[in-house]
Structures are given as C-alpha cells and as structure tokens.
Amino acid sequence: MTAEQAKTHEALFSERAAGIKQSAVRDVFELSLDPSLVSLAGGNPYLQLLPLEKIGQIAQRIIVEQGPVALQYGSGLGTEELRAQILEVMAAEGITNVGFDDVVVTNGSQSAQDMACKVFCDPGDTVLCEDPTYVGALNTFEAYQVTARPVGTDENGLIPAALRERIAELRAAGERIKFLYTIPNFNNPSGITLAAERRQEIVDICREEGILILEDNPYGMLRYEGEAAPTLRSLDAENVIYMGSFSKIFAPGLRIGWAAVPTHLFRRFYLAGEAVALCPPTLNQMIISSYLEEHDWKGQVAKYNELYRSRRDAMLAALAKYLPAGITHTHPAGGFFIWLTLPEGIDTYELLQEGVKAGVIFIPGAAFSPSGEASNKLRLAFCSVDEDTITEGVRRLSLLLQQALAS
Ligand code: PMP
C-alpha cells in the first residue's frame, strides 16, 4: 500500500470513525502481560476460582448432545431458557418488576450500551453521566457522536440537586438530553456507590424531566460490606433500562449480558442489536444456562466476594501504610476499583511511564473523565492479583508518588 493509496482510504473514513480510539485500558492491558510488572491496572475477574472442570464437562455435553442447536443461529432475543433464568438472577438483586418479554440477551452489557445509543441518540445529542465513568461507555458515546456531560457527584454518588441544575443549564443552552448513564453500584473506576436515600430522587427527576435512565450494574452482586440499596430499575419499571452482565459473576469471555427494557421501548431496542450481531452466541448461552442450573452460582458469587473482599482489604491496608500524605482515595464497599486523587499538577499519564520503569502499572484517570479533568487521578484494581502482589504494587506506587511529590 503506497502512502498515496492510504491517504485515499483515509478520506473514506466516516465522521463517526474519527471518534473511535483504543481505550486507555486496552493500551495498558498490553503492558500488563509483562510478568515483571505488578499490574494494578486490569479489571479482570479472577477466573481461577471457577469450577473449570465442571464447565468443561458442561460445554462438551452440550456440543455432543445438542450440537446442531448449540452451534446454530438462535433468536435475536436470546434463548428462552436463559431469559427466564435472567429473571431469577435479577430477583436475587431484588428486581422483581421485569417480565420475561422485557429481557433481551446481549453480547455483553457493552453491546447493550451500543444498542441504547443506536436507538436513542443522533449525532450532537447529549447524555448525562458520572465523572469519572466507565471508559467503554464514553467510547461508545463518542462513536455515536454524542456528548457526555458530567453531573456533580460526591462520595455518595450523583447529587440530585446537581442533576436538576445540570439538566436546566444544558437545556437552556439548547442541548437535547437523551438519557442519564449511571453505574450506581461500585462505579468503574471510582468504586463509589449511589446512596440508598438518593435513589428515589434521581429516578423521580429523570422521569419528571423526560430523560431515560441507563442503569449499568455489572458489579452489583460483588458487595463486601453493607446492605444493598434498591436498583433504579426496581424503583421505576417504565423509565429505566437496566443492563446486567455475566462477566463479573461468571466469566467475561463468554460475552453474555442482558438488558431489561421498558415494555414500550423493547422492540426497537432489541431490533437494534439484531441488526449488528444477529443473535448472541447460542453455545455460550447454553453453557451459562446449564451452569446456573447445575452449579450453586450464588455460592460461587459468595466465593468471589470472599476473595475480592480480602484483596480489597489488602489494598486499603497497603494504601494506609505506604501512601504519602496529600493523596486521597475512595473506600469501595464492592466491585473491583479504588480511585486515587493526587495533588493538582501530577499527571498520571506521565506517572505511568515512570511506573513501567518502577515495575507497577495502573490506569491514568483522564480516560475515565468526560470533562477531561482527571489528569491527577488514577484507578487501581484489586480483583486480579493476590494480596502480597497488591501490597508490593502499592509499595512501588507509593515510592513513585513520594518522588513525584518531592520534585
Ligand atoms: N459496564 C461497566 C461499568 C464495566 O466495568 C464493564 C466491564 N469492565 C462493562 C460495562 C462491560 O461489561 P461486559 O463484559 O458485560 O460487556
């Protein structure tokens, strides 16, 4: 390919493609494959804890006994068996106001975000979100040429009054707000949870203002302390699209998630997914169905929680022990992540380059920030490495931070 030809092709890119970029998380993912580095970067669940032998037997049995079905195209809605089981999984989180016909199985919850944008957003539209928020969602918004506008938060999540003000301000400026995208439980990257007493008000504001809620809840069951607050969906079946996932409670490589969609919006929503992927993978859905049926999946979640709780505690203890003064961090009650705030002026992208040399990596904060104002912040993940490694990683990071603060 000559430079001339490449240029010709570049001119063919859509405007939309200009916004498509590799996420910072994927960039760092490549680095994390170096075994001499301690990676506090990846939010990968610790799958070694799964009953792998059993899952292998399930997969083999399904292929041998039901291969022509398992390896065939399936319904764009997902299999009936899994959709029915998803109702039980949601019920385990206290969500009982979803009907069978309101559930569509998706290729991970990532694709449910894409479907929502496709159905609701035109280029130039606005969506509201937390700051920081999930980088994968920000990338989807960008790909649909949608502007993500942050709403004020504190250590208890979205602030209802700030939401009201933001809506008024953006509307006064002529912006068309389509939905609030929120991760109410154990936000990725901040680890923050929306306080129970704020939830009804957030739901009420969005309903009154005619703004949908996209509730992204992949970590809800990974709770290490305290009582679960009601999901937004359980407070409003008509204005909340709920996105769930098997990625964190089972295995992300199967790429199976789901959306529970208000009845009147359902048809368009699922047809948008069908147009992209035809159907979610049949074999993987069948594996999950058998796993849910034959394995104590709630016991498995409890095992995960025990492991992640001790890893979280190890990270909090190491931060308390090693972190220099002047740096604050969140105290997540669940999920995978802790969010550090450094003094203004320390750029965590630059710090990451030093971290690679010093043998510790993390994700710089800016990628998660719709306002771009998180260059002095960073995300640590405690889910995928053991306690000693976490402690060593935090020690290395703290040495780096001491140097950065001194210079
Ligand atoms: N939402 C959030 C908040 C996430 O952290 C992730 C995965 N890291 C996803 C969605 C995507 O999950 P899935 O594997 O179901 O596509």
Parse the chain into domains and list their residue ranges: 3-50+299-406, 69-294
- Pair of tokens at residue 18: 């200009």
Is any ligand 1 atom within 6 A of the Cβ of residue 335? no
pLDDT at residue number 13 = 86
Overall average pLDDT of the 7-30 stretch: 75
Is any ligand 1 atom within 6 A of the Cβ of residue 218? yes
Q: In the chain, what percentage of residues exceed pLDDT 90? A: 87
pLDDT at residue number 36 = 86
pLDDT at residue number 6 = 86
**Domain 3-50+299-406, architecture per CATH:** Alpha-Beta Complex (3.90)
Is any ligand 1 atom within 6 A of the Cβ of residue 188? yes
Overall average pLDDT of the 181-201 stretch: 98
- Pair of tokens at residue 16: 């939309």
Is any ligand 1 atom within 6 A of the Cβ of residue 257? yes
Overall average pLDDT of the 289-307 stretch: 97
pLDDT at residue number 295 = 95
| pLDDT higher than threshold 90 for residue 152 | yes
Is any ligand 1 atom within 6 A of the Cβ of residue 280? no
| pLDDT higher than threshold 80 for residue 32 | no
Domain 69-294, CATH 3.40.640.10 — does that match?
Answer: yes
Instruction: Identify any residues that bridge with 259 across adjacent strands, giving them in sequence order.
Output: 104, 243
Query: How far does the centroid of ligand 1 lie from the alpha carbon of residue 93, in Å?
Result: 18
Between CA 11 and CA 14, with CA 12 as vertex, the angle to 5 degrees is 105
Instruction: State the helix-helix crossing angle for 135-143 and 24-31, rounded to 10 degrees.
Output: 130
pLDDT at residue number 29 = 66
DSSP per-residue letters across 193-223: ---HHHHHHHHHHHHHHT-EEEEE-TTTT-B
Question: Phi first, then psi: what are they for 185, rounded to 5°?
Answer: -110, 120
Is any ligand 1 atom within 6 A of the Cβ of residue 183? yes
Q: pLDDT tens across 217-270, in order?
A: 999 999 999 999 999 999 999 999 999 999 999 999 999 999 999 999 999 998
Identify the residue whose C-alpha is closest to ligand 1 atom 5.
Answer: 188
Residue 98 φ/ψ region, left for φ over 0, alpha for ψ in the -120 to 50 degree band, beta for the rest: beta
pLDDT at residue number 21 = 67
Query: How far does the centroid of ligand 1 lie from the alpha carbon of residue 218, in Å?
Result: 6
Identify the residue whose C-alpha is closest to ligand 1 atom 11.
Answer: 110
Is any ligand 1 atom within 6 A of the Cβ of residue 133? no
**Cα–Cα nearest to 29, from 47, 40, 42:** 42
Q: Ligand 1: which atom is nearest the Cα of residue 183?
A: 3
Contacts of 187 (CB under 8 A, 6+ apart): 130, 132, 133, 134, 157, 193, 335, 337
Q: In the chain, what percentage of residues exceed pLDDT 70? A: 97
| pLDDT higher than threshold 90 for residue 17 | no
Contacts of 73 (CB under 8 A, 6+ apart): 278, 279, 282
Please say whether the beta carbons of 341 and 376 come within 8 A: yes
Rounded Cα distance between 196 and 157, Å, is 10
Is any ligand 1 atom within 6 A of the Cβ of residue 109? yes
pLDDT at residue number 54 = 97
In angstroms, the Cα distances linking 172 to 165, 168, 169, 175, 207 are 11, 6, 5, 7, 19
Rounded Cα distance between 7 and 19, Å, is 18
Please say whether the beta carbons of 62 and 56 come within 8 A: no
| pLDDT higher than threshold 90 for residue 63 | yes
Q: pLDDT tens across 334-373, in order?
A: 999 999 999 999 999 999 999 999 999 999 999 999 988 8
Query: How far does the centroid of ligand 1 lie from the alpha carbon of residue 337, in Å?
Result: 13
**Cα–Cα nearest to 308, from 221, 227, 382:** 382
Between CA 162 and CA 112, with CA 135 as vertex, the angle to 5 degrees is 90
Is any ligand 1 atom within 6 A of the Cβ of residue 252? yes
Q: At residue 306, what is the residue type?
A: E
Instruction: State the helix-helix crossing angle for 52-70 and 282-294, rounded to 10 degrees.
Output: 130
In angstroms, the Cα distances linking 275 to 76, 102, 142 are 9, 18, 20
Instruction: Identify any residues that bridge with 380 across adjacent strands, giving them in sequence order.
Output: 338
pLDDT at residue number 273 = 78
Query: How far does the centroid of ligand 1 lie from the alpha carbon of residue 109, in Å?
Result: 6
pTM: 0.95
Q: Ligand 1: which atom is nearest the Cα of residue 25?
A: 8
| pLDDT higher than threshold 90 for residue 30 | no
Residue 402: Cβ within 10 Å count: 14
In angstroms, the Cα distances linking 381 to 43, 145, 311 are 6, 30, 10
Between CA 325 and CA 334, with CA 331 as vertex, the angle to 5 degrees is 155
Q: pLDDT tens across 84-137, in order?
A: 999 999 999 999 999 999 999 999 999 999 999 999 999 999 999 999 999 999
pLDDT at residue number 19 = 64
Q: What is the DSSP letter of 335?
A: S
Please say whether the beta carbons of 322 and 395 come within 8 A: yes
Query: How far does the centroid of ligand 1 lie from the alpha carbon of residue 291, in Å?
Result: 21
Half-sphere exposure of 75 (CA within 13 A, CB side): 13
pLDDT band at 26; cut points 50, 70, 90: low
Sort strands 257-260 and 328-329 into parallel, antiparallel or unpaired: unpaired
DSSP per-residue letters across 116-171: HHHHH--TT-EEEE-SS--HHHHHHHHHTT-EEEE--EETTEE-HHHHHHHHHHHH
